[in-house]
Amino acid sequence: MKKKRTIIVIVILILLAYISGQLNIKKSAKNSEKTSGSTKAKDKYTTSKTKYSSLKYPAKIEKDFLDAKSDNNKASETTMINIEAPHTKKWGNTPGNILNHGFFAFQDGYLYFNSPNLIENSLLKSSYPIYRTKEDGITALTSLKAIDAPVYINLVSEWIYFCTTPNGELYRMKINGTELEVISTTPTSNLIIYDNVLYYIQNNNIYKSSINNLQEKQLIVEKANYFTLSEDGKNIFYCSFDNNSYKALSNSYGNSIYSIETNGKNKKQIFTSSNDTNIESIFVYKNYLYFTPVVWDKTTMSVKSHIYIDKLDYTSSNPTVEEYISLFEYDFNINLYENYLYYTKTNFNVPSITVFRRNLDDNSEEKLTVDNVYFLSSGIFCFDDKVYLTASSDFPNSSKYCNSLYCLDFQKKSILQNKGLKMSLSETYEE
């Protein structure tokens, strides 16, 4: 009996030992699985973190930004890489700014521009960057990749589209200065983008291309010197490539105005002036054209001094030209933004430039004057209530560098001045 009890106790001990072993094995496996999962999660986080940390800005962009920031106490902390530009507008630039060669463009609170006159000793440079500042023209100055004199600048979402001079290649690049792409090597001018379609001139013909298919272009009309678009983007108004007596001494714009739909249909001749007249600009507001016919005086062999901005109802069956605004001098610049027509007058006796703003709905007018400047170094460029221009006060002391960028705010009745970029001859922007 005692022996039997001993056997039972041994069996029970064996069972307890087996059960305890199994429990330890399961616990060990569970701990191993937990440790393994933790390691995997940690590895995944580390990999993600390493991948994010490995992203680097292009050295040139980072250098340019830091250089600009150190030279400007008001520089923003935002780098070019971090700019987000949702595509919320139809125009890449305004038709009026493009008629002034599109040196300035505006998007999402930032001004993008090319103005060689702001750079000291600019004539000795072979290329110029597109600059970016906040809308005051001063704060957070940053330079992008240098290109041969960018003109006709258009902004569409994260892309900058532009042409170059003197060769006229058509390019685009990201608004952070990266991914420069050649769209066309054919000399291109008058580039304007509306509703994701590029309109431009090549070989005196107007073409259009979709942003989604830049290599395919459609001919709209032949023999055009320059053009503008209607407010709704459905019609093109252009000046024909004509021979006139002023051609040899002008930009040969021509003396006839035509319209055509952007699909290439319904071409109409709207207006023709005399052969001694050159139409130098066309602006469209509602059913009116505003343009400047410059008349060549055959007796004095010079431009007639008294010049007007003319007004014409292009929807009339018998359009009549009205002399709308007197400019007096040939030294003028014109632009149109929404319902405002802007134009300049230069006073050489008391060196100053006055920018006038005419409300085309009620004919009211206001003005702002920039003092101590002798002449404009650029056209005038308009965005909302602001006008941007570059002007010089280096006459008669031409050895002194005195070009400045001005921001005229018609809403605040204020004028801001950026006194130039003062860059050394050794500074380059090549990657």
User: Tokens for 63?
Assistant: 């250098």
Cα–Cα distances in angstroms (integers) from residue 200 to residues 34, 139, 208, in the given order: 65, 32, 6
Task: Look at residues 206, 221, 236 and tell me which one is the last residue of a structural domain.
Answer: 221
Q: Report yes or no on 77 lying in a domain.
A: no
Same domain, 203 and 275: no
For the chain, the domain total comes to 3
Q: Can you give the chain as a three-state secondary structure string?
A: CHHHHHHHHHHHHHHHHHHHHHHHHHHHHHHHHHHHHHHHHHHHHHHHHHHHHCCCCCHHHHHHHHHHHHHCCCCCCCCHHHCCCCCCCCECCCHHHHHCCCCEEEECCEEEECCHHHCCCHHHCCCEEEEEEECCCCCCCEEEEEECCEEEEEEECCEEEEEECCCCCEEEEECCCCCCEEEECCCCEEEEEECCEEEEEECCEEEEEECCEEEEEEEEECCEEEEEECCCCCEEEEEECCCCCCHHHCCCCCCEEEEEECCCCCCEEEEECCCCEEEEEEEEECCEEEEEEEEEECCCCEECCCCEEEEEECCCCCCCCEEEEECCCCCCCEEEECCEEEEEEEECCCCEEEEEEEECCCCCEEEEEEECCCEECCCCEEECCEEEEEEECCCCCCCCCCEEEEEEECCCCEEEEECCCCCCCCCCCCC
The pLDDT score that the predictor gives to residue 280 is 84
Give the CATH number of the domain where residue 270 resides: 2.120.10.30
Are residues 153 and 106 located together in one domain of the fold?
yes
Please check whether residue 23 lies inside any domain of the structure.
no
| Eight-state DSSP code of residue 299 | T
Are both 198 and 251 inside the same structural domain? no
Both 320 and 253 in a single domain? yes
Of the residues 289, 311, 328, the one at which a domain ends: 328
Same domain, 92 and 202: yes
271 within some domain? yes
Host domain of residue 213: 86-221
On whether both 144 and 118 belong to a single domain, the answer is: yes
User: What pTM was estimated for this model as a whole?
Assistant: 0.75
Pair (106, 217) in one structural domain: yes
Residues facing 344 on adjacent strands: 355
Q: What is the pLDDT, as a whole number, of residue 182? A: 95
**What is the pLDDT at residue 111?**
95
Number of neighbouring beta carbons within 10 Å of residue 76 = 15
**Whole-number pLDDT of residue 394:** 66
Q: In terms of domains, do 355 and 412 share one?
A: yes
With respect to residue 25, please indicate whether it lies within any of the assigned structural domains.
Answer: no
Q: How far apart are CA 376 and CA 353, in angstroms?
A: 8
In a domain, residue 11? The reply is: no
CA dist., res. 59 & res. 74, Å (int): 22
Q: Domain for residue 410, yes or no? A: yes
161 and 173 both lie in a single domain: yes
Note whether 208 and 129 are same-domain residues: yes
The series of mean pLDDT values per 10 residues for the chain, 431 residues long, is 48 51 48 43 32 29 32 34 49 96 95 79 66 88 83 96 92 93 96 98 96 94 94 94 52 79 96 83 95 81 79 92 83 92 91 96 97 88 96 64 87 89 39 35
Cα–Cα distance, 353 to 401 (Å, whole number): 18
Residue 36 within a domain: no
211 with 106, same domain?
yes
Domain finish residue from 221, 239, 262: 221
Q: What is the pLDDT of residue 49?
A: 29
| Same domain, yes or no: 396 and 412 | yes
In a domain, 71, yes or no: no
